[in-house]
Amino acid sequence: MKSLLLRAAVTGLALWLVTRMVSGIYFVFPVGASQLERVGIILVVAFVFGLVNAVIKPIVQLFVIPLYILTLGLIHVVINAWMLWITSWITENTTHWGLGIDQFWFTAIWAAILLSIVGWALGLVQRAIEK
């Protein structure tokens, strides 16, 4: 349970950093939300993003194996952007708060690239701290 919360915190931090770097991706908070509520919403979005990546992404990857070969793996960026888009759709349409993305082809793609880089860097820091 502790590692799940730590992973959600790292993913939430990575998502928050990406929202600061890319215009068009943002967190939607309820009006008058406190800082603690905002952190909680970021953690919930990170948890939903983790679930989307754990459940939907492997199925999608299985069906697009020929595209992986054809594009030499570059389709992976589009799949990651689609996982962000699905997370945005789930959180905004079920709760009216969460992750918001303006456009798929520029915003989500760019955010997916940066999220991979930021997540990788934060994962390195996390592993160094755990040792």
Identify the CA nearest to 22 among candidates 112, 88, 98: 112
pLDDT at residue 84, rounded to an integer: 95
Contact 47, 8 (CB under 8 A): yes
pLDDT tens profile 59-115: 999 999 999 999 998 999 999 999 999 999 999 889 889 999 998 888 999 999 999
Instruction: Decide: 86 and 52 in contact? Cβ < 8 Å.
Output: yes
Confidence of residue 1 (pLDDT cuts 50, 70, 90): low
Confidence band, pLDDT 50/70/90 cuts, at residue 123: confident
pTM given for the model:
0.89
The answer to whether 84 and 108 are in contact (CB under 8 A) is yes
